[in-house]
Structure 1
Amino acid sequence: MTDNNLPVLNAEVAIEKGLTTADAAKRPIKVIQFGEGNFLRAFVDWTIQQLNNNDLFGGNVAIVQPISQGRAKELAAQDNLYTVVLEGLKNGEQVQSRELIDSIGKSLSAVGDWEEFLALADEPEAKIIISNTTEAGIALDDSDTAETVPPKSYPAKLVHLLKRRFDNGLPGFLIIPCELIADNGDTLKKYLLELADKFGYGEDFKAWLENDNKFFNTLVDRIVPGYPRDRAEELWNELGYVDNNMVKAEPFLLWVVSGDAEAIDEALPAKKLGIDLVTPESVKPYRERKVFLLNCPHTTLASVARLAGVATVGEAMNDADVRPFIEKEMHEEIIPVLSLPEDELNKFAEAVLERYANPFVKHALDAIGLNSAAKYVTRCLPVLLNNVKEGHGLPKRLVLALSGLIYTYGGLAEGKVNISDDPAVVAKFEEAAKSENYAATILADASVWGQDLTEVEGLVDAVAANLEAIKAEGMRPLIKALA
C-alpha cells in the first residue's frame, strides 16, 4: 500500500478488479524480447495484447533486460503487469484509453540471470525473437568470446541463446529486430554469422542459423513518451492502483516488416484487427520517410531546444522560435534531398507536426536525447551529407543540431542538459573538448561518426563558430536567427 491507500498493481489486485485472470500468466512463452523499455512495452507488447484479447495469439512474452540497468525487477515486482495509456488523435477522433497488459510471462536480466536467460531457448513454443537495444545495440564488442559470460553485446548474447536452441534440436525463430538502423535484420544476421565463426560453433550451426531462422528488416513508428510522471498520481487514482511501470503512447502505430510476409501474417495476424502491421517487399521508402522526417527533427530538438530551456516536444511546438526552426529544417533541409514525391513528404511532415503537438503527450526531450550521438549518425547525418553532395551547401539547422550535441557531450552545458549515453562515447567528447580545436578533433573521430567529418568542406569552421556562439550568447539567439 502507499500513502494514498491505493494498492500497488499485482496479479491479485488485477484479478480482483476484473482486469485479468489467473490463466493469462499460464499462456506459453511464444516471444523472447530483448529490451524492457517504454517503447517495446507500448508497441510490441501492446500489439501482442490485442492479439491475445482476440484469441489470435495465445502466448506470452519473456522480457530480457539486455544490460545491467533496466526495469526487469520493477516489472517482476508487479507480476509483470502494467498499464498502457493511449492519448491523442486517430482519424481525427480523440482517443483516451487505459489498458492493462497481461501478456508478459516473465522478465529477467541477461546479465544477472544468465542461466535463466539461456533456458529461454528451451521454451518449446517460442517462435519469435524481438529486440530494441537502441541504434547502438546491433554492434559487436571485440572483448566477447565464447567463454565470456555474460558477453557485452546484444548479438553475442543472442548467439549464445541460439546455439543452445540448436543443441536442443528445436526449431529456429522469426527474428524481428526493431532497432532503428537500415537493414536491421540483415545486419544482425551478418553479425551472428561472424560470431558463430569467432566462437567456433561449426558449420552445422551456421547452416541452421541461416536455414531454420528467418530474419526481417523492419521499421517501427509510435511516439512513446514513457512514464507519465507529471500525472502519475492522477492516473493511479483513476485506475484504482499504483502502477510504477505504466507507459504512455500516442494512438498512431505503424510496424513495417519486410521478409516472408506469409510467415509474419501467420505468426502475428495483426492485420485482422486493423493494426497497421504492413509487410512490403522493402522497408526503405517507409524508413527514409520516418527516420528523416520524424526521428531526425526529434534528435534536433534534443540537441538544440534543450539548450534553449525547452523540456518537451509539446513545449517546442508552442515555442515561437523553435517550431518555425523545425518546420524550416523539414521543408528546406530534409525534404529536398529525399527521394519520395514531394507532395507525399509534405503531407507526412504536416502529420508529424500534428503528432508532435499532441496535447495529451509530454514527450521529454531528455528521453529523446538517450544515445544522441548514435541517433544523430543514423537519423540526421545522412541528410546533412546529402545536402552537401547535391550542391545545397551545409544545412545550417542540421549543423546547429550537430553543434548542440557536441557542446553538450563535451561537458560545456554545465549540467543544464541531461546526458544519457555510453560512458565510453561521452568520454571521447570530453577528451576532445580539452584540445585546442574541439570541433576539429571530435569531427575527425571516425569511431563516433563512421567517417572523418573534417573532410566535409566548411563543417569544422561552422561547428566551431556555433560552439563559440552558444558559449557566448546561449542557444536561443541561434535558433531565432534560423527560424
Structure 2
Amino acid sequence: MQRLNNETLGQLATTASLPTYDRDAQSAGIVHLGIGAFHRAHQAWYTEALLNSGASNWQIIGASLRSPTVKNQLAEQDGLYTIVERGPQGERFQVVGAVKDVLVGPESPEALLAVMSDATTKIVSLTVTEKGYCHDPATGNLNVEHPDIVHDLANPNAPKSAIGYIVSALNARRLAGTPTFTVLSCDNLPNNGEVLERVVLQYAEKYDAELAAWIRTNTTFPCTMIDRIVPATTDADRKELEAKLGLRDEGMVLAEPFSQWVIEDKFCSERPAWEDAGALLVSDVHAFEIMKLRLLNGSHSLLAYTGYLAGFDYVSEVMNEPLLAKLCQIFMDREVGQTVQVPVGFDMEEYKVQLRERFSNPGLKHRTWQIAMDGSQKIPQRWLQTLQAQLDGNGDIELLCLALAAWIQYVSGTDEKGEAIDVQDPLAQTLKETCDANADNLDATVAAVLGVKAVFPEAIAQSAAVQGRVAYWLTEIKQGGVLAAIAKAV
C-alpha cells in the first residue's frame, strides 16, 4: 500500500481537507519538544489553520527527546499526517502539513541545539508530560538529583532533558548576541509557564549565574491551558484509515472535535496569531487552568482508576456504567465544583455537561490504562489541590478519598481479580514496594503511601481525616470491589 506523502497527497482531495499553502515556500519559526500525538492534534492543528489562512513562516520543527518513533512515522511522509476527528456525528479527515521536520535528540543533540539557537526560531514549545520537567511535583522545584539533570549539567552540549536543551540553546543565543525565544509550555500542569520558568532558572543558576540573569531579563514563559482528548493510536486505527483513504498513514492521530487553547499573552518574540484560529489570548490563564485541571483532568483520572479496576478498557464504557457516571457527576458538582472560580461570563454548568458528553463519546477509544499512566506526577495537580482546598474550607472530601484509595489499589500492581497491572509510573517500584511492605495493615498502607513526599504535601499526608477515609474506602474496595464501594459513596 502506498504511503501518504507529497506525491500521493492529491489522491485524498475528495475525502480529506488538505493543506492549501505551498509547504516548500515556508520556513519554520517554532521548535517543539515532545512531538507526540497530542501536539500534532492540538498546537500543530491551530498552526495549520493559520498557515491555511495565509500566515507564513510558522511551520514547526518537532523534536523527540527519547524515541525515533515519530520521525520514523513522518520521514517517509514528508511530515504529512492525518487528524481523524471522531464525534457522535461521524468522522472528519484533515491532512496537516505544519510539521516541516522531526529531529531526534539522542541521535544528534547538536542538530537540535543548532535549530533552537537559530535566530529564525521565535518560539520553543513543549509537551513532555509532567515528568519531563525533572521537578518535584510536591514543591515545583528542580530535582537536582534527577539523572538527566545530573547528566546535562556535566554535558551541556549533549543534553537529554528538555530543561537542558532550553538552557543550552538560550546560552548559545546569549553568547552569539541572538535575541531570545519565548518558551511555551503546553503540558497539563498548573501554572505550567511558571513551573517551567522556575526549573529553567534553577538549572541555569547551577550552570552559569550570568546566564540565569540574562534569561530572567529577556525570556518569557507564558502559561497555557490546553484541552483536547487525543487517544493513543493503534495499528487497528491505521488499518481502518488505510481502508478509507487508500493510503497508509503511520503518523495519523485521533482526536475529538472539541479543542480549546487559552494562552497568556506574554511573548518576548514574534508569535503566530493563534487567536485567529480560535485560541484565546488572555492576561491571566489561572482560572481557566484550575477549572480544567480539576474538572476535566481530575474527573478523567477518577474514571481511569475506578474504571480500570472495574474492568473497563475505555472511558466511554466507563460512562455507560450508571454508578460511574453518577460518581463523575457528583465529583464535578460537589468536591470539585465547590473549589473552582468561574471565569466571568463562563457557563460552568454547561461546561460540566459538555465534559461528560465528551467522556461518553464512543468514537474515542481512550483507554483507562493510558489515562492512568504517570499518576504520581498527575494527581498532585488533578486531585490534591482540590483536596487541600476542601480541607481548608471544611468541605467534602469523600470522593477524593475514594479516588485516592482506587489509585493506591491500582499502584499496588494487582487488580480486583488478583491479576497483575502494568503500572507505568516513574514511582511505580517505590509505590509497589510501599504497598507490599504494609499489605497486612491497610491503615499502615495508606499512611505509608501518603508519606511518599514526592507526591503528597505534609498537610495532606498528616491529615487524620484523609488517612481515615482513604483507609475506609481502600478496605471497601478490597472487600467488595470498586463498584460496590462506589454504590456506598453515591
- 2:484 matched to which residue of 1? 477
- 2:435 matched to which residue of 1? 433
SS of equivalent residue, structure 1 residue 433: helix
- Contact kept in structure 2, 1:68 and 1:112, CA below 8 Å: no
How far apart in 1 are the matches of 2:463 and 2:432?
Answer: 22
SS of equivalent residue, structure 1 residue 367: helix
Following superposition, the deviation at residue 230 of structure 1 comes to 4.7
Q: Which residues of 2 match residues 112-151 of structure 1 at below 5 A?
A: 112-138=107-133, 139=135, 140-142=142-144, 143-148=150-155, 150-151=158-159
Taking only the aligned residue pairs, the percentage that are identical comes to 26
Following superposition, the deviation at residue 153 of structure 1 comes to 3.4
Match of 1:467 among 460, 466, 474: 474
- 1:221 matched to which residue of 2? 227
How far apart in 1 are the matches of 2:465 and 2:71?
Answer: 47
The verdict on how the C-alpha distance between 1:163 and 1:49 changes in structure 2, with shifts beyond 3 A counting, is same
SS of equivalent residue, structure 1 residue 182: coil
How far apart in 2 are the matches of 1:114 and 1:367?
Answer: 29
- 2:266 matched to which residue of 1? 260
SS of equivalent residue, structure 2 residue 413: coil
How far apart in 2 are the matches of 1:87 and 1:129?
Answer: 30
Match of 1:331 among 330, 333, 352: 333
- 2:274 matched to which residue of 1? 270
How far apart in 1 are the matches of 2:388 and 2:33?
Answer: 33
- 1:167 matched to which residue of 2? 175
- 1:3 matched to which residue of 2? none
- Residue 348 (structure 2) pairs with residue 349 (structure 1): no
How far apart in 1 are the matches of 2:213 and 2:388?
Answer: 39
Q: Which residues of 2 match residues 308-319 of structure 1 at below 5 A?
A: 308-319=310-321
How far apart in 1 are the matches of 2:340 and 2:50?
Answer: 36
Following superposition, the deviation at residue 61 of structure 1 comes to 0.8
- Residue 425 (structure 2) pairs with residue 421 (structure 1): yes
Following superposition, the deviation at residue 458 of structure 1 comes to 2.6
Match of 2:250 among 244, 253, 259: 244
The one-letter code sitting in structure 2 at the alignment partner of 1:38 is A
The one-letter code sitting in structure 1 at the alignment partner of 2:284 is S
How far apart in 1 are the matches of 2:90 and 2:213?
Answer: 48
Task: Between 327-336 and 352-361, report the one with greater CA deviation.
Answer: 352-361
The verdict on how the C-alpha distance between 1:451 and 1:8 changes in structure 2, with shifts beyond 3 A counting, is farther
The one-letter code sitting in structure 1 at the alignment partner of 2:341 is S
- Residue 212 (structure 2) pairs with residue 206 (structure 1): yes
SS of equivalent residue, structure 1 residue 458: helix
How far apart in 2 are the matches of 1:192 and 1:337?
Answer: 30
Following superposition, the deviation at residue 461 of structure 1 comes to 3.0
SS of equivalent residue, structure 1 residue 136: helix
How far apart in 1 are the matches of 2:7 and 2:425?
Answer: 38
Following superposition, the deviation at residue 178 of structure 1 comes to 0.9
- 2:452 matched to which residue of 1? 445
How far apart in 2 are the matches of 1:20 and 1:354?
Answer: 31
- Residue 10 (structure 2) pairs with residue 8 (structure 1): no
Measured against aligned partners, the alpha-carbon deviations of 1:115-169 in whole angstroms (never above 9, x if no partner) come to 1111113433211111111122222342245323644532122111221222332
- Contact kept in structure 2, 1:85 and 1:97, CA below 8 Å: yes
How far apart in 1 are the matches of 2:10 and 2:50?
Answer: 20
Match of 2:203 among 176, 195, 200: 195
The one-letter code sitting in structure 1 at the alignment partner of 2:212 is K
Measured against aligned partners, the alpha-carbon deviations of 1:218-255 in whole angstroms (never above 9, x if no partner) come to 11111212426554323211111111221111222211
The verdict on how the C-alpha distance between 1:415 and 1:216 changes in structure 2, with shifts beyond 3 A counting, is farther
- Contact kept in structure 2, 1:121 and 1:164, CA below 8 Å: no
The verdict on how the C-alpha distance between 1:255 and 1:57 changes in structure 2, with shifts beyond 3 A counting, is farther
Q: CA RMSD in A?
A: 2.6
The one-letter code sitting in structure 1 at the alignment partner of 2:227 is D
Following superposition, the deviation at residue 68 of structure 1 comes to 4.5
- Residue 162 (structure 2) pairs with residue 158 (structure 1): no
SS of equivalent residue, structure 2 residue 282: coil
- Contact kept in structure 1, 2:32 and 2:61, CA below 8 Å: yes
Q: Which residues of 2 match residues 13-162 of structure 1 at below 5 A?
A: 13-14=8-9, 19=18, 23-25=22-24, 27-68=26-67, 71-88=70-87, 94=89, 96-138=91-133, 139=135, 140-142=142-144, 143-148=150-155, 150-162=158-170
SS of equivalent residue, structure 1 residue 279: strand
- Contact kept in structure 2, 1:445 and 1:451, CA below 8 Å: no
The one-letter code sitting in structure 2 at the alignment partner of 1:100 is V
The one-letter code sitting in structure 2 at the alignment partner of 1:269 is A
- Contact kept in structure 2, 1:183 and 1:217, CA below 8 Å: yes
- Contact kept in structure 2, 1:446 and 1:452, CA below 8 Å: no
Following superposition, the deviation at residue 283 of structure 1 comes to 0.7
SS of equivalent residue, structure 1 residue 80: coil
The verdict on how the C-alpha distance between 1:25 and 1:345 changes in structure 2, with shifts beyond 3 A counting, is same
Following superposition, the deviation at residue 97 of structure 1 comes to 1.8
How far apart in 2 are the matches of 1:455 and 1:58?
Answer: 53
The one-letter code sitting in structure 2 at the alignment partner of 1:396 is E
The verdict on how the C-alpha distance between 1:189 and 1:332 changes in structure 2, with shifts beyond 3 A counting, is closer
The one-letter code sitting in structure 2 at the alignment partner of 1:321 is L
Measured against aligned partners, the alpha-carbon deviations of 1:100-122 in whole angstroms (never above 9, x if no partner) come to 11111111222232111111134
Following superposition, the deviation at residue 21 of structure 1 comes to 9.0
- 1:373 matched to which residue of 2? 376
TM-score (norm 2): 0.87
Following superposition, the deviation at residue 99 of structure 1 comes to 1.0
Residue correspondences, number: 465
